[in-house]
Amino acid sequence: MARDVWFETVAIAQERAKKRLPKSAYSSLISASEKGLTVSDNVAAFSELGFAPHVVGAPANREMATTVMGQEISMPVMISPTGVQAVDPDGEVAVARAAAARGTAMGLSSFASKPMEEVIAANPKTFFQIYWLGGRDAIAERVERARAAGAVGMIATTDWSFSHGRDWGSPTIPEKMDLKTMVKMMPEALTRPGWFLRWAKTLRPPTLRVPNQAGRGEAGPPFFQAYGEWMGTPPPTWEDIAWLRELWGGPFMLKGVMRVDDAKRAVDCGVSAISVSNHGGNNLDGTPAAIRALPAIAEAVGDQIEVLLDGGIRRGSDVVKAVALGARAVMIGRAYLWGLGAAGQPGVENVLDILRGGIDSALMGLGRASVHDLTPSDILIPAGFSRALGVPAADAG
Ligand SMILES: Cc1cc2nc3c(=O)[nH]c(=O)nc-3n(C[C@H](O)[C@H](O)[C@H](O)COP(=O)(O)O)c2cc1C
């Protein structure tokens, strides 16, 4: 990557994305529910955890490769599904290419701006993320489309609440990019000429439709129409989750688990994996950081299913903390979205390289030759850090 666009940390990627993207596009990448208590805690909690480094005997080589739901990945980091990556003309395809170039897997959102067939062609290690939207028949059609497209696993997300009352305002995603909308948005776009030119060169305006909510080859409904359908669909029961897992029949993750009792129900449903997650602070504000809930959940079900974590990962050292506390791997959201906003595909590769470098330094400092050797003893966990949700009060940490 050219020296002038290369960045050294995720925080710098965020600054670059802020400078490069129109205000409304950038705000959609940072906003979260209500006051933002949860999104802030997701990040702050990692700063409360310390390391217990060794002084001599660091291993000459450090091993980072692992597997998630049967897919080999080069480090314990993969792409978390996020909707409408239209901050860049290549969107999810750029992210999938970057993930493939760095040897990791892609979670592809149901609300993505690119069709699943194009994304899977760019990265065969793609898990399709599904929302419970439209009832069993409509869901079964999407499952079959994902199977035909070659998705290697399914991620079910049930914990999204697009809350109103966001102190930073809700993102504006227009119904369609017609002339009237373009004229309205022009002043904002013109303050970001680099971004504007990149889109202008493609001769097509940002896609605000969600093609994976329709049949193959169809444009799909506008984002907010699909969102309305999701709001109008009765939320799934545990029986629905077991049905979906059975219908898919392959590797299956339930994303958004924050409680030990829910993790156990997920095991009973036959899932292969869960992600301990609060949707990056986009669900119920006041939910603690995902990393605080991880130790109790990993302890309860980590020997039966794969336990991942997402929420607040900004550095390689955060990845190492999560793995030491029981995660098999982490999924990243805003970190790669900022890379994408800052510099497209190379920006996402840059973010993945930053995380890899950070994991390597942390392993070296801890004297660990492999991510598989990490244990809680590598981490300084302050008293009262963990939150064991969904366990009898006497057992809660
Ligand atoms: C802009 C944005 C869009 C998202 N869209 C989805 C989505 O469509 N499906 C989903 O399962 N999670 C979605 N998420 C949640 C992410 O997958 C992930 O849980 C979260 O971003 C992790 O927190 P982090 O951003 O601090 O890494 C979204 C998150 C953001 C920030």
**pLDDT tier at 186, thresholds 50, 70, 90:** confident
Average pLDDT taken over every residue of the chain? 93
User: Which residues have a catalytic role annotated?
Assistant: 279
Supply the pLDDT for residue 96. Answer: 98
* Per-residue model confidence as pLDDT tens digits over 16-59: 999 999 988 898 899 899 999 999 999 999 999 999 999 999 99
Please give the annotated binding residues, written as ranges. Answer: 81-83, 109, 129, 131, 157, 166, 255, 277, 279, 310-314, 333-334
Q: Mark 31-62 as b/e (b = at least 16 C-beta within 10 Å).
A: bbbbebbbbebbbebbebbeeeeeeeeeeeeb
Instruction: Indicate whether 171 pLDDT > 70.
Output: no
* CB contact burial 311-328 (16+ within 10 A = b; e otherwise): bbbbbbbbbbbbbbbbbb
What does the pLDDT average to over 276-300?
Answer: 97
Q: Which atom of ligand 1 is nearest to the CA of 311?
A: 23
pLDDT value at position 255?
98
Please report, for the chain, how many H helices and E strands are present, in that order.
Answer: 14, 12
Q: Is 113 in the pocket of ligand 1 (CB under 6 A)?
A: no
- Whether the predicted pLDDT of 175 surpasses 90: no
Q: Please tell me the residue having the least CA distance from ligand 1 atom 13.
A: 82
CATH of domain 10-173+208-380: 3.20.20.70
Per-residue pLDDT, 388: 96
The pLDDT-based confidence of 173 (bands split at 50, 70, 90) is: low
Asked if residue 277 has its Cβ within 6 Å of ligand 1, the reply is yes
Task: Quote the distance between the C-alpha of residue 349 and its chain's center.
Answer: 15
Q: Say how many Å lie between the CA of residue 279 and the centre of ligand 1.
A: 5
> Which pTM does this prediction carry?
0.95
- Domain parsing of the chain, residue ranges: 10-173+208-380
For 62-207, where are the E strands, in sequence order? 66-68, 71-73, 77-79, 106-108, 126-131, 153-157
User: Distances in Å between the alpha carbon of 283 and those of 49, 134, 310, 322, 334?
Assistant: 24, 20, 13, 21, 15
The SS3 of residue 327 is coil
Q: Does 208 score more than 60 pLDDT?
A: yes
Q: How far is the CA of 364 from the centre of ligand 1 (A)?
A: 30
Among 162, 258, 279, name the best residue to mutate to test ligand 1's pocket (greatest count of ligand atoms within 8 A of Cβ): 279
- The answer to whether the CB of 71 falls within 8 A of the CB of 153 is yes
Among left, alpha and beta (phi > 0; psi -120 to 50; other), residue 390 is: left
Q: How confident is the model at residue 276 (pLDDT cuts 50, 70, 90)?
A: very high
Whether 80 is in the pocket of ligand 1, judged by its Cβ within 6 Å, is yes
Q: What is the largest CA-CA distance in the chain?
A: 65
